[in-house]
Amino acid sequence: MFDVALSSAGSYISLATSFDGAFSPDHIIDGKPDSFWLTTGLFPQEFILSFASLANISTVRIHSYNLKNLHVMSSTENKPTNFTKLTSKGTITLLPCIE
């Protein structure tokens, strides 16, 4: 299946609230299983993934540790504005946990 969220498909991170310089938000979409985005600072931590063109998305896959809340939102604007909430999850516990 073609992954429209990868940087190789033309997608890019248009905003990230914080990150460690060695683990940039671009790692979210690089397709490498051994890279990751490391956040710093206060909550909430957010990122905006922008696609190369409009896309119909049927599945969203998140690989993460220690999420407190997850909100998936969408926008069809040329710039990332006027978001619509698609789904939300409360505390998410994933084991084993790396800290």
pTM metric for this prediction:
0.81
Three-class secondary structure assignment of 44-61:
CCCEEEECCCCCCCCCCC
Question: Is residue 96 reached through a cis peptide bond, with omega within 30 degrees of 0 on the bond before it?
Answer: yes
**Cα(42)–Cα(93) distance, rounded to whole angstroms?**
20
Span 36-74, pLDDT tens digits:
998 887 778 899 999 998 888 888 888 887 778 889 999
Q: Which helix (H) or strand (E) holds 3?
A: none
Residue type at position 14: S
Examine the pLDDT at 98 and tell me if it is beyond 80. no
What is the predicted pLDDT for the residue at 38? 87
The amino acid present at 3, given as its one-letter code, is: D
Q: Is the peptide bond before 80 cis (omega within 30 degrees of 0)?
A: no
